[in-house]
Structure 1
Amino acid sequence: MQKKLTDTKVIKTEEQHQSYLAEVDRLMSMMPNPGSLESNRLEVLILLIEDYESKKHPIDAPDPIDAILFRMHERSLKQADLIPYFGTRSRVSEVLGRKRPLTVPMIKALSVGLGISAETLLGITHADETQSKEEVDWSRFPIKEMVARGWINKAVGKAAKTTEETLREFVSLIGWQFGEAAFRRTPLGDAYSPTTKYSLYVWLLRVIQRARENREMLGEFDQSKLSSSFLRELAQLSWFENGPLLAIEFLNKHGIAVIVEPHLKGTMLDGAALKDVDGTPIIGLTLRYDRLDNFWFTLLHEVAHIWKHIGAEEAFLDDLDASSEDRREAEANRIAREACIPRVAWKRSGAHLDPNKENIDKLSRELKVHPAIIAGRIQREKENYQIFSDLLGRGEVRSLIGNHPYGEL
């Protein structure tokens, strides 16, 4: 029976919270038309969930160094650009490396120059200015789901390890920068929100773990090989029936690990891009939407991040349904679109000027890309997700890569 907006109530229990999360996942997969009953209900549910989670898990004040690093990312600043605020290049390095504390003159200069509040730079929280907080709240990890997926073992008997001990061991075994101290960092990308931080971090750790387990399948990575032609070659693998498998093998050959790991409940995650501590680039895909058009765009978007944006300590977490003002997300979108369908070819094509299946097939053959990519482009531009839906390749990705070593479906 279809639920109405009047059936929706303020969340008061965790059971109700989980029920609404499951319904959000279901409604998102339907891709309802704007203004429809389903679309309106989805918006209301998201607002109620955000309100409940913000009250249950209030956002901690940012760490001062993380606030500086975030502003550097935001303004594309290098360490050398911070010398006027710190005095010398070595002081910049020492402060950002947490080896030297911020001084009062530094705080004043940063507050004025970078627009970071003095309270943030002093590490003051309004909730409790005197009480120190745990860096990690281990109780907020999705324990039940981790056990159900076989990531960690369930504690049984008196001699068993506690949940916190098991989680600490899981994190320490990965040994990546998302250990305890890194929970103070602000992840990059549109999928991140404070209420889903723990689920996203542990999902990333699992992706890293699986990438390391399959490290022998990787070739040597050479950053200089990444280019527009590289992404174009990757996109044209969609032309083949087993294109997604060929794409994974192509990237593996070039030293880029691709891991398929379904998203955890409550996270709106399509993909991620990061580098392991040894510099190995890793792409994580959730297949939240099991469609060929979504697979190819997400994959190319994450490769674009690795090409253009990823450093030693960044990780992009992407919800590609979300709008973003981040120039790096906009650039990754542009690169992915251009790799799939070059702008000049698109503007003159019949698929753009007179969308129909014949013109979609014609452009597909000209560009040597799967028709799903073109159909998806038309849907997004026209904001009509009902047209040409039979061309999107629904259900084809999971069935194709489910048994691949990098696919865990």
Structure 2
Amino acid sequence: MNNLSFDPNWVSPPGETMLDILEEQNISLSTFADHMDTSIESINSLIRGNTIINKSLALQLEGFFGVSNDFWLTREEQYRFICEKIQSENINWLKQLPIKFMISNGWIGDVEDKVKACLDFFNVTSIKNWKTKYSSETHGLAFRTSQTLSSDESAVATWLRRGEIIAHSIQCKPWDKSLFESSLDDLKKLSRNKNPKDFLPRLISKCAEFGVAVVIVPTPPGCRASGATKFISDDKALLLLSFRYLSDDQFWFTFFHEAGHLILHQKTTHIEIQNGNVDEQEHEANAFAAEVLVPYTYHKELINLRSNQRRLIKLAMELNIAPGIIVGQMQYLGIIGFNYLNSYKRKYNWEDINSVYYE
């Protein structure tokens, strides 16, 4: 078997070769069955590949078709070898995917043929196509999450694909970089709304006016992503968020970080996942988000705030952002500890978030 080096996406059984010869010579299946001294049902089983061709059967085929029994035995051997290889690949692929999560969240049905269900979910025709399409997007990309967490590429690809599916259902005007960038100061005012039921529909609607489909998708096990951006067409961008930490400071910083990628880095895919090396574009997106939310000119005032909570509230009103965002930036800059002033951060829940898309 070591000489079988080809690796097709599919393989036809030896019966396909038999059908070709029968058709070429204008021989009916019943005539073939009579010669083989068997039933039409058995011939159909042979043609579909459900019957194994052994030495005895190969000699019968040689007698009827005039093709050597070695040919039929080799054809059978190749077919079984590739079938086993494909089956093994299918099993390994399914093991990589968060199948239980996908089923429990209704992303795919709980069907027997899970390979087909997953191929349909990813809108690809084969596992090879899937690897080509999604590995290029999830392998070696970049970002921003805790370095203590791991991230599985298949889980990330699944999360990204779910975002694409929802984004396709969001009606958007054509992508307009200038209008989107000029809208950011108004968009950050939405952070002062306490409930996702209130601010998410408005955020989604406003961004759609500039060609940006904002989508919220919970991450499956193994996916440690906080956000992602990609263009799903020339005129439509996906801005995908995971609401990973369910707090306002994390959510809004991630949103404006992703907005920074769309504005600064042309039409390239970015996925914020764990990586020891944060590249230049990630630093740029971080700086972009920080400047939109709390401009650098206010950093001296942040240092002077420290424990003056009344001034914190006043500054939040002046900047048109939630107080929790200022706390998050003060923690990030090392002005206060990460356990300090967290009561100003708003916490969200998935029931309110999911209601935006599913009610």
How does the TM-score come out when normalised to structure 2?
0.65
Describe the SS at the equivalent of 1:404.
helix
Match for residue 338 of structure 2 among 382, 385, 392:
385
Instruction: Flag structure 2 segments of 5+ consecutive residues without an equivalent.
Output: 1-84
The count of residues paired between Structure 1 and Structure 2 equals 262
Residues 191, 155 of structure 1: CA spacing in aligned structure 2 closer, same or farther, 3 A cutoff? Answer: farther
Which letter does structure 1 place at the counterpart of 2:317?
A: R
Separation in structure 2 between the aligned mates of residue 174 and residue 373 of structure 1, nearest angstrom = 44
Whichever of the two has the greater Rg, that structure is 2
Q: Is the 8 A contact 1:174 1:209 kept in 2?
A: no
Partner of 1:337: 290
Q: Is the 8 A contact 1:271 1:285 kept in 2?
A: yes
Q: Is the 8 A contact 1:136 1:180 kept in 2?
A: no
Instruction: Flag structure 1 segments of 5+ consecutive residues without an equivalent.
Output: 1-130, 157-161
Does 1:225 find its partner at 2:179? Answer: yes
Which letter does structure 2 place at the counterpart of 1:150?
A: G
Match for residue 206 of structure 1 among 137, 145, 162:
162
Does 1:189 find its partner at 2:146? Answer: no
Q: Is the 8 A contact 1:187 1:315 kept in 2?
A: no
Does 1:179 find its partner at 2:130? Answer: yes
Q: Is the 8 A contact 2:173 2:208 kept in 1?
A: yes
Which letter does structure 1 place at the counterpart of 2:240?
A: G
Counterparts of 1:351-366 in structure 2, within 5 Å, are 351-355=302-306, 356-366=308-318
1:295, distance to aligned residue in structure 2 (A): 1.0
Partner of 1:308: 264
Q: Is the 8 A contact 2:228 2:270 kept in 1?
A: yes
* Cα deviation digits, residues 79-116 of structure 1 (max 9, x gap): xxxxxxxxxxxxxxxxxxxxxxxxxxxxxxxxxxxxxx
Separation in structure 1 between the aligned mates of residue 180 and residue 221 of structure 2, nearest angstrom = 34
Residues 251, 226 of structure 1: CA spacing in aligned structure 2 closer, same or farther, 3 A cutoff? Answer: closer
1:330, distance to aligned residue in structure 2 (A): 0.3
The structure 1 segments of at least 4 consecutive aligned residues displaced by more than 4 Å after TM superposition are 133-137, 191-195, 321-324, 397-400
CA RMSD of aligned residues (A): 3.3
Residues 362, 236 of structure 1: CA spacing in aligned structure 2 closer, same or farther, 3 A cutoff? Answer: same
1:275, distance to aligned residue in structure 2 (A): 0.9
Does 1:247 find its partner at 2:203? Answer: yes
Q: Is the 8 A contact 1:219 1:252 kept in 2?
A: yes
Which letter does structure 2 place at the counterpart of 1:268?
A: R
Does 1:275 find its partner at 2:231? Answer: yes
Separation in structure 1 between the aligned mates of residue 114 and residue 214 of structure 2, nearest angstrom = 30
Separation in structure 2 between the aligned mates of residue 135 and residue 300 of structure 1, nearest angstrom = 39
Separation in structure 2 between the aligned mates of residue 180 and residue 135 of structure 1, nearest angstrom = 13
How does the TM-score come out when normalised to structure 1?
0.57
1:174, distance to aligned residue in structure 2 (A): 11
Separation in structure 2 between the aligned mates of residue 222 and residue 166 of structure 1, nearest angstrom = 36
Separation in structure 1 between the aligned mates of residue 254 and residue 339 of structure 2, nearest angstrom = 20
Partner of 2:322: 370
Residues 357, 279 of structure 1: CA spacing in aligned structure 2 closer, same or farther, 3 A cutoff? Answer: same
Separation in structure 2 between the aligned mates of residue 222 and residue 181 of structure 1, nearest angstrom = 30
1:323, distance to aligned residue in structure 2 (A): 6.2
Describe the SS at the equivalent of 2:311.
helix
